[in-house]
Amino acid sequence: MTLWQPKSGSADMMTLHVSIGGNRYEVDTVKGGAKRETKGAGKTTFQKTGAGAVFTIAAVANGGEKIIGTIKCGRFAAIQAEGG
pLDDT in tens, 25-40: 999 999 877 777 899 9
pLDDT tier at 84, thresholds 50, 70, 90: low
Whole-number Å distance between alpha carbons of 10 and 15: 16
Q: How large is the average pLDDT for residues 66-75? A: 94
In a domain, residue 83? The reply is: no
Q: Are 12 and 3 in contact (CB under 8 A)?
A: yes
In a domain, residue 6? The reply is: yes
Phi, psi of 67 (to 5 degrees): -125, 115
Domain, as residue range, for 11: 2-73
Whole-number Å distance between alpha carbons of 12 and 7: 10
In a domain, residue 46? The reply is: yes
Q: How many domains does the chain have?
A: 1
More confident site: 27 or 76: 27
